[in-house]
Amino acid sequence: MKLVAIPLTDYEAWSRHWLPFLPSISRCTKESVQTLFGQIKRGEVRLTLVWDDDTRQAVALIGIRLHMRDHDLIAEICWTTGRDYKAWIGLLPELEKMLRLAGVVECRPICRPGWAKILKANGYRLTHMMMEKVL
């Protein structure tokens, strides 16, 4: 397995690999597939695929939002979806290296509670908690 960051100019060429993941993200985020597609098209969310060379297929999709905090580039991992996460969770240090090379100084995964144990084992710490309630 390896990570493949999709350049903004190549999203269409790679769409057959990342588009199948949007319905799953849509269910989790409660945003329509069209809304998610728009975020990608406008460059609001950058895409990275977890790629299996053996099958020549993407097994997961990672969505990353970048923003500035004063002079620091911050990355928020806003989407992580795919199958058999145990086969690719070991790529987290490679993702961090890619982000560092892009100038990112802090990575903030937005995750479900089950991911907290995995992230903590990789040096992440809890800084904020988000809760939600349907009104």
Where do the domains of the chain lie, and which CATH numbers do they carry? 2-121 (3.40.630.30)
User: What is the structure's pLDDT at 135?
Assistant: 83
Which pLDDT does position 127 carry in this prediction? 82
Residues 6+ apart with CB under 8 A from 110: 76, 77, 78, 130
pLDDT at 37: 94
pLDDT of residue 86: 87
Residue among 102, 106, 59, 54 nearest 81 (CA) = 59
Residue pair 81/122 in contact (Cβ under 8 Å)? The answer is no
Helix (H) or strand (E) holding 111: none
Task: Spell out, as residue ranges, where the chain has pLDDT lower than 70.
Answer: none
Supply the pLDDT for residue 19: 96
| Cα angle 94, 77, 91; round to 5 | 20
In whole angstroms, give the CA distance from residue 129 to residue 68: 21
Please give the model's pTM, rounded to 2 decimal places. 0.88
Alpha-carbon distances of 83 from 54, 77, 88, 106, 128, rounded to whole Å: 15, 17, 9, 26, 27
